Structure 1
Amino acid sequence: MINRVVLVGRLTKDPELRYTPSGQAVATFTIAVNRTFTNQQGEREADFLNCVVWRRQAENVANFLNKGSLAGVEGRLQSRSYEDQSGRRVYVTEVVADSVQFLEPKGSGGSGAGGGGNNNFYGGGQSQGGGQNPYGSDQQRKNNSDQGRTSFDDDPFANDGQPIDISDDDLPF
């Protein structure tokens, strides 16, 4: 069985940090993830997904992320239920995060659609595991595109409204 979730989106409000009676830190937050398609009115919709993170990572999330922060969440989907104060059964589905990546520099908090700067997910410098990021820094990618080379962020297959002429012989399937 596989239960793996990978999300990239923006926090809809500041994370809430609490501690269990045994002293374990737990942070909850909601992340808005844009859908890859538009609705019939041409508007892009988003899904709002509840996330839970534990221990030291919970404290880091509470200290360094806030409303509008771009974050990458990796974890598993979990369903649970409980009885509320009125005795009704409440069902909850949430992402239990194993890893939360901060995808923007501290203080930028949602200032751009694509993020930027040095970050742990795609940015330059050190990854969380301590190794060198194979994609290079944002500055290196900018310099590459300024020198006439295409950065890996440019999409050569972007839909410019023109039909693509590909013969069936060129398809790998």
Structure 2
Amino acid sequence: MNNVVLTGRLVRDPELRFISGSGMAVAQFTIAVDKNLSRDKKQQFEAQGKPTADFIRIVVWGKQAENCNSYLSKGRKVAINGSISTSSYVNKNGETVYTTDIIARNVEFLERMERRDSGVSQDSFGELDRDYDADFASIEDDPHSPF
């Protein structure tokens, strides 16, 4: 079974593109996932200039890719559920480059955030109308009421 669950923070903003022909959206971003190190080992790694996190590239398709592009930005915490995909290509120098990506089935936003292109909070409903009709009488608090 090829199933991966990761939690980490975006290293940079997602990059969104659309596949020519089909118009399918695809977003890519990298998350930093902390290594499971003891406090002493983490301090040792930091002193030696070694990374204390792994940097993992995530690929998201379809409407979810568009949502990631709209709502995620550098530093945001996410949970990813997906599968590992390995591939290779030949670069400009004729060298074979091997890649490992996570193809996300589900991206969960773990923090409240604002939409990148509008500044609107994801769960904002605007200001509530506080202008009540004068017909309503004020209700006294009942000390015996459980509410």
Task: Tell me: CA distance 1:27–1:36, structure 2 relative to 1, closer, same or farther (3 Å).
Answer: same
What SS does structure 2 have at the residue aligned with 1:36? coil
CA offset digits 1:86-126 (Å, max 9, x no partner): 2211110010000000000014xxxxxxxxxx99xxxxxxx
Same amino acid, percent of matched pairs: 46
- Corresponding residue for residue 109 of structure 2: 102
Preserved CA contact (<8 Å) 2:45 2:52 = no
After superposition, the C-alpha distances for 1:50-98 in whole angstroms (9 at most, x for unaligned) are 1100000000000000000000000000100011122211110010000
Match of 1:5 in 2: 4
Q: Does 1:41 align with 2:48?
A: no
Shift in CA distance, 9/83, structure 1 to aligned 2, threshold 3 Å: same
1:50-129 aligned at under 5 Å gives the runs 50-107=57-114
Structure 2 match to 1:110? none
Structure scoring higher RCO (CA < 8 A, sep ≥ 6) equals 2
Which AA in structure 2 matches 1:87? Answer: G
| Structure 1 runs (4+) greater than 6 angstroms displaced | none
Q: What's the RMSD between the two structures over aligned residues?
A: 2.0
Matched residue type, 2:32: A
Query: How many residues are treated as equivalent by the alignment?
Result: 108
Q: Counterparts of 2:93 and 2:24 in 1: how far apart (Å)?
A: 28
Give distance in 2, aligned partners of 1:42 and 1:26: 35
Match of residue 18 from structure 1: 17
TM-score relative to the length of structure 1: 0.58
Give the letter aligned to residue 16 of structure 2.
L
How does the TM-score come out when normalised to structure 2?
0.68
Query: Which secondary structure does the structure 2 equivalent of 1:86 belong to?
Result: coil
Give the partner amino acid of 1:12.
Answer: V
In structure 2, distance between residues paired with 1:68 and 1:54 = 21
Q: Which amino acid aligns with 2:110?
A: L
Per the alignment, residue 136 of structure 1 pairs with: none
Change (3 A) 1:10 1:88: same
Do the aligned partners of 2:14 and 2:68 also contact (CA within 8 Å) in 1?
A: yes
Amino acid at match of 2:17: R
2:133 is matched with none
Deviation string, structure 1 residues 120-152 (Cα, Å, up to 9, x no partner): xxxxxxxxxxxxxxxxxxxxxxxxxxxxxxxxx
